[in-house]
Structure 1
């Protein structure tokens, strides 16, 4: 990058005003950051001052999947990608999670990534000479909650270190982290079959967590054509925790399941409210392979000896990317070793839709980073009373929540898992609101019955609405608090009308679609009134006329000959012909039997 005059840099950082010429253009500076995921570079047209349109991340994944399906990638089926006969895969994961705090880690600037670029920047954030770090002690609270939820031992005394490297997104030339004495160690996370682990791992597996450390984030780079890079310093200094697992993962799907579950846990304890696809969580995976023939590897990672040489894949931005990148890198290493080559310790990258990892740079080690204690920051002392208070107020963790949904609300494990994981916990909150309203409308209703009714509509019927092809990434506009474009009270009213036979299932689905389309501005009752969808039961005469219209003499003769099960075929014919869902199968069967007996005489 060309050198920028300090006066220009100061006005860019603190006032948002820069000359129209040169590296930093006024129109681009005023444009919001275009991408959420760390490490992904957005581009602006060289001559167009308008910002590029941001494509929802979910749509990117769908488009890439369609492209691969058309082109045919030749990859193995997913079920065949988890087990190797001659090689053992070993994976360790480092997860960076943005803490849910109001301030940055070492300055009082607001902790936000969504506002206008470079409007929340303190002097220390950009390493202005003479500025000093001031540890914001409130950032410790969500970090401790995360560590407790991950079964870690809290260190009463922890210290900050400097990790040195030069890059334009790190103004000071070093990152403040906790390499030697982190605030939490020796945790673990338990993964179950319903979490999506590989079948080879059985019903459950425990993955150790070596340590969790606090550290500061870097600035965000937005690249343009012509080797021009814009920097958003709103993100520099944001408080992160880095969760470092032990290399105890041996299957790609288990690695993806671990990242997914850690995201759910962090959200459940309000430690990190932005997920992987929103840029609040970033995963780096360390991958190595070794032969199963008993020959030990020559390398060591996180205290585990005998492993193959590892490579690191940086900044994976989806659960699918975690699994796919591990598979690609595993296969690349095996191919190199089978050909008599050696694996180089290096950092590699992964692009959505790719089938291969790519080299970024040689792998830095402890010596390269020149770790040293930060002389400007004292130790962090944590009292036992704070640890006890946070532990007692931690609340219900996801595994316990799933058990409650299964045992008390009558849901399947799969549905319970979906509720807890969707919309960063918002779908679960919405479900609870619907159940509460259902029990208010029908106090005599059993909790399990209400839970199953609500679960079907909240997950499956509303899931169908989410598949509507719209430009929004989340068409339901579901928040983590359970607010939604379809109000929970209106959905509960709809389910109650259906359960009490005041509307049919077909009509209920039609009303749900209208609730979604209207954005919640119309009530369930008004929509039913307007469309005339209230259920009108069929009279005995109506049943008889409908039954006569579908009678098939061949079927009647079979029933008279003793094949009584054919009655169900005729009942189905009646239900299909009615079309409005008003036919009661039991009443229809009674009427049919009466008419068929007339033929016997």
Structure 2
């Protein structure tokens, strides 16, 4: 790189002008020079023109982000176009004759108001380069200033992971050069982290591989504080935009022991960690929003080498951004390493990448080691001393952890483990709180507080998961908050479910009302008025009318009735429920619209078949 003239250096330091002839703009790949210019102008107070440029860049950045659902569809299309057949994941957890070993490093953004070493505000959706302090962009003479408040969520996270908090920890410099790290080094805690020796217990309901049984325990070697890098957004023409808002955001890096043996268990572990961090309010957002990223270390060895204690050569796959990517990337890398070894080759220690739509990992660079990073104690930062009184207070105020909450949802409300886990995972904890809000309003409306009957709770869970899920799939976002409120107030959903539970409206009317509230066509608190205005109250037909409809639909269905007869005679073991529901469907179509309940139709039809028609068939 050529020398920078005194004039250029003066303009850069005093008024923030950057020459396009320098290394910040030219070269391959080029970096848009205005990004650093924008950062420094923000430090000194940006002009309105610069603010407009930043807003334009923010809109351009937002336009490049693809929803996860679209990315997964693109991945499926790419796989189909490649002509490769994908194995069922349940059948692809192990390869006979080989043993897989996985270790995981998780980087999670902490829920703090300030950055780790500067008073700049943390920012996730603000105008790019609008929250940047001098130290964030490594301005000469700037010094790190540790923000003690960042310790609170960090310690909560470590306690949720079962770690022992160290009374004294220290910061180190990890040296590497990349455009997203202005200082040329990252401040982390390599030698003396603030937490060690934790564990995470995974159960079958968490989605672990069947070969791991009902329970598996994964050890946490250490949890350390470190600063995040800038956000890079690729643009056409081999140009990259940098957002320095993210530089210096506080992270915890969670490093496991190499104890994971199956890809599905690795994905379940990352999912469980996200749940744990969310339950103690340590993390701002999960993998879906980019607040949590995972690097996986993968190695394989032959099964007969397991007793030697030596692991195979490991490779690291960087920056996996979804649970699916964790499992798919491990499977692909495992298969690649096995193929190399079976061909007589040698697995190289290297860093590899993974993209949605890929069927193979790709080489990024050779694997760096401790010597490459030149770790050294940071001379500008003193030790971090964490008092036992703080640890005790945070431990006593942690609240209910996910496993205990899932058990409570299953035991108290009769939810399935799948529904309980889904409620807890969605919307960074907002969906489970929304469920509790709806349930509380529903119990008050029905007068069921403390009742042992769990049907109303399962009804609320079903609607909070599935019916709300349909809205977010077909329309815009629900705007769910961490306090459990969204575009559909919990009191309005509870009012709809209260009428549905009492059988005062049909399920179809309830769904129409939900859409009406979502679109603003039903005013807040106006569910009952909307039912009155549309004459939507359910007036069910009589038992005799149900019986007449049942008799009518049975006529001409000799083959269907023959299935019930064979069951009655013991020729088939399974009750023909599908045939019964076929006849119920005919009843619902033949009867008066909005005046029939499917459950009542099924009950009457079953009684007529078993009490009238089957005895007649047996007698004949």
Q: Place the TM-score, normalised by the shorter chain, in its bin.
A: 0.7 to 0.9
* Bigger fraction of residues in helix: 2
Cα drift, residue 74 of structure 1: 1.8
**CA shift for structure 1 position 389:** 0.1
Contact 1:101 1:138 survives alignment (8 Å): yes
Residue 198 and residue 562 in structure 1: after superposition, are their counterparts in 2 closer, same or farther (change >3 A)?
A: closer
Change (3 A) 1:555 1:350: closer
- Cα shift at 1:443: 1.6
Q: Supply the distance in 1 between the matched residues of 2:404 and 2:181 (Cα, whole angstroms).
A: 41
Contact 2:522–2:530 (CA<8 Å) still a contact in 1? no
Report the counterpart of residue 139 of structure 1 in structure 2: 150
> How far 1:595 sits from its partner (Å)?
10
Alignment-derived partner of residue 510 in structure 1: 512
Q: Give the 3 Å change call, closer, same or farther, for CA 28–358 of structure 1 in structure 2.
A: farther
Match of 2:32 in 1: none
> What runs of 5+ residues in structure 1 fail to find an aligned partner?
19-24, 35-42, 45-50, 298-304
How many pairs were matched up? Answer: 567
Shift of 1:332: 0.8
2:60 paired with 1:15: no
* 1:511-526 map, 5 Å: 511-518=513-520, 521=523, 523-526=526-529
2:200 is paired with a residue whose SS is strand
C-alpha spacing 1:289/1:430, structure 2 compared with 1 (3 Å): same
Matches within 5 A, 1:580-591: 580=594, 582=596, 584-585=600-601
> Structure 2: how far apart are the matches of 1:295 and 1:174?
38
2:393 corresponds to which residue? 389
212-221 vs 527-536, which moves further? 527-536
- 1:378 equivalent in structure 2: 382
Q: Which residue of 2 aligns with 1:453?
A: 459
Q: How does 1:69-468 map to 2 (within 5 A)?
A: 69=80, 71-294=82-305, 306-444=310-448, 446=451, 448-468=454-474
CA contact (8 A) 2:550 2:604 kept: no
Match of 2:489 in 1: 487
Q: Shift of the alpha carbon at 1:73?
A: 2.8
Per-residue deviation, 1:122: 0.9
Cα-to-partner distance string for 1:458-509 (whole Å, 9 max, x where unaligned): 12333333332x4x4xx33322321122221111111111111211223223
8 Å contact from structure 1 (residues 427, 482) kept in 2: yes
Distance 1:324 1:534, change over 3 A: same
Query: CA contact under 8 A between 1:32 and 1:115: conserved in structure 2?
Result: no
Alpha-carbon distance, 1:294 to partner: 2.8
Question: How far does residue 590 in structure 1 lie from its aligned partner after superposition?
Answer: 7.9
Structure 1 position 273, deviation (Å): 1.9
Bigger CA drift: 248-257 or 217-226? 217-226
Q: Is residue 64 from structure 1 mapped to residue 75 from structure 2 by the alignment? A: yes
- 1:282 match: secondary structure: strand
Determine the C-alpha separation between the residues in 2 that align with 1:110 and 1:144: 20
- Structure 2 contact 99–261 (Cα < 8 Å) conserved: yes
Partners of 1:324 and 1:593 in 2: CA distance: 51
Contact 1:487 1:520 (C-alpha < 8 Å) held by counterparts: no
Provide the rounded CA distance (Å) in 2 between the counterparts of 1:551 and 1:288: 63
Stretch moving more, 504-513 or 251-260: 504-513
TM-score (norm 2): 0.84
Cα distance in 1, alignment partners of residues 585 and 522 from structure 2: 35
Greater shift, 569-578 or 258-267, is seen at: 569-578
Query: Conserved in 1, the CA contact under 8 Å of 2:266 and 2:327?
Result: yes
Distance 2:416 2:529 in 1: 33
Distance 1:32 1:67 in 2: 30
User: Does the CA contact (< 8 Å) of 1:31 and 1:116 recur in 2?
Assistant: no
CA gap 1:508/1:379 in 2 versus in 1, 3 angstroms: same
Q: 1:574 aligns with which of 587, 596, 599?
A: 587
2-structure distance, mates of 1:67, 1:286: 26
Residue 372 (structure 1) shift? 0.6
Determine helix, strand or coil for the equivalent of 2:348.
Answer: coil
CA contact (8 A) 1:29 1:230 kept: no
Structure 2: 5+ residue stretches without partners: 19-35, 45-49, 569-575
